[in-house]
Amino acid sequence: GALIDRLRGEVSGGLDEFITKRLACDRSECPEADEDLAAEQAETLAGTDDVGEVVELLGSASVAQIAAIKTAYEEANDGSLAAALQDKFSGWTEKALCALLEDPIDHYC
């Protein structure tokens, strides 16, 4: 819509993709995580620096699924998912992606 078009004129790159994904409101709200899927998603995140792929994966995952992805990532890799995102991305894109890793209540309070 008009809001998304206006935002695209104001931001670019990874932040554009992040904002567009968030405004689409297609995030899962499932209260339970799929541990097997989380392991696959963690492997995908470890192997990519494509912001679109990361935004799609984290932007559509529920809070519970993101927590499971974080755990699976840390079990399979040296270091945290947040540290990996900080290494791969920068600026507002990095801040936005890392914010998704936090519990919404903790992040906003």
Task: Give me the half-sphere count of Cα atoms (radius 13 Å) on the Cβ side of residue 20.
Answer: 20
Is the model's pLDDT at 43 over the cut of 70? yes
- For 80, phi then psi, to 5°, come to -90, 160
pTM for this entry: 0.82
pLDDT tens-digit readout, 77-100: 999 999 999 999 999 889 989 999
Q: Classify 7 as helix, strand or coil.
A: helix
* CA distances, 89 to each of 13, 50, 53, 57, 70 (Å): 11, 9, 13, 15, 17
Could you give the CA distance from residue 88 to residue 53 in angstroms, rounded to a whole number? 13
